[in-house]
Amino acid sequence: METAYLHLADGTSLVGTAFGYHGEARGEVVFSTAMTGYDQSLTDPSFANQILVFTYPLVGNYGVARPQFNDKHLLANFESEKIWASGVVLSSLPELPSHYQSEVSFADWLTVHKIPGIARIDTRALTIKLRAHGVLAGTISRSQKRPHSFATPFQYSDVSCTTEITYKSKPANAPHIALIDCGVKHGIVRQLLRLGFTVTRVPWNVNPLDVGKFGAVVVSNGPGDPKDWGETIASIKKIITKKIPLLGICLGHQLLSLAIGADTYKLKYGHRGVNQPVQDEKTRKCYITSQNHGFAVATKTIPSTFDRWFTNLNDGTNEGISHDQARIWSTQFHPEGEPGPFDTTFVFSRLLSGHSRASGNLYK
């Protein structure tokens, strides 16, 4: 098999075995501690422009299933229609996948989607390096020569839909909600449909209240620095004044926080995996959650009128805010939990709750 190299911006070059697409990948090198769900992780738009290091040694062992559609624009078993991560790093590469649903090997799947990979890398040592140093820009290449630049220009808005898409729930009188698409995981749409909502998905730079009348708004996950999503933040500010239920997830949590006057900052190496513990500050109950983010909300900057809803038990970072009276909630983790546990799906039910409308100044 052909040799490949993982060149890091700090001057390190790691040697491994090439697999997947014969090409070069550039991006921010990040790691995930997930033990399953590699196909869902790679199709998560939040991984756009990132080279994903899997710490679990058995990635690709159950192959990749045929895409299954619930709707023309909604997949049942992946988080989007394509792989968004720019490259993949593994410790080993199973050559014979074993699963009754497997249609194609992991390596062939990457080849079809034009995603380069490198295997036989000491991912444990690489992860320790990233934890100590922080995330690094990197390049996967079949050339030993290091690149002159690690710049990875990318339009994060490319992860969003470009026109409205409506998913109808079976009840004719189903409550109709808007979903601002900043790179939404299809699992979020599936969960909203399971609850009986009709969902209209709108582009990241569209205020849904300019499109139609909705009973609630959800702001999705997505990639990049939340401060780069200025048009979405402006829409959220307008939505808040209308006093309708609002739920932010992952990037949506960060955008909501910026809209109410809080601040965000870049984490040293982020939280990525399906085993992140968070605690509900109201009930003191702990949940194991699915997460994928590189930024966090600065807890001390959250306005006093909002409750600190969840806290990450690994590092104490904020994992959610709430204002029950105003019917505004957000979580940094992914309550739809695919891949991952499902014990936080109750978060979505808040959109159906009957809390009284907001009053007073939310920005105090």
Provide the 10 A C-beta neighbour count for residue 325: 15
Strand arrangement, sheet containing 318-323: 165-167, 198-203, 176-181, 216-219, 246-249, 328-331, 318-323, 307-312, 264-280, 286-297
336 catalytically annotated: yes
Q: Find, among 145, 150, 128, the residue nearest to 8 by Cα.
A: 150
Which candidate in 7, 28, 250, 319 is catalytic? 250
Residue 334 is among the residues annotated as catalytic for this protein = yes
CA gap 122, 116 in Å, rounded: 18
The structure tokens listed for 22 are 């014969």
Q: Rounded to whole angstroms, what are the CA distances from 346 to 100, 150, 203, 329, 352?
A: 32, 42, 26, 12, 10
Give residue 172's region: left, alpha or beta (phi > 0; psi -120 to 50). alpha
How far, in Å, are 178, 204, 252, 321, 342 from residue 233 at the CA level? 15, 10, 9, 16, 29
Instruction: Answer yes or no: 281 catalytic.
Output: no
Measure the CA–CA gap between 222 and 235, rounded to whole angstroms. Answer: 16
Q: What is the DSSP string of 162-197?
A: SS-EEE--SSTT--EEEEEESS--HHHHHHHHHTT-
Tokens of 33: 């501690």
Give the HSE-up count for residue 111: Cα atoms under 13 Å, Cβ half-sphere: 9
Residues 253, 271, 293, 334: which is the catalytic one? 334
CA atoms of 211 and 67, how far apart (whole Å): 31
Residues acting as catalytic residues: 250, 334, 336
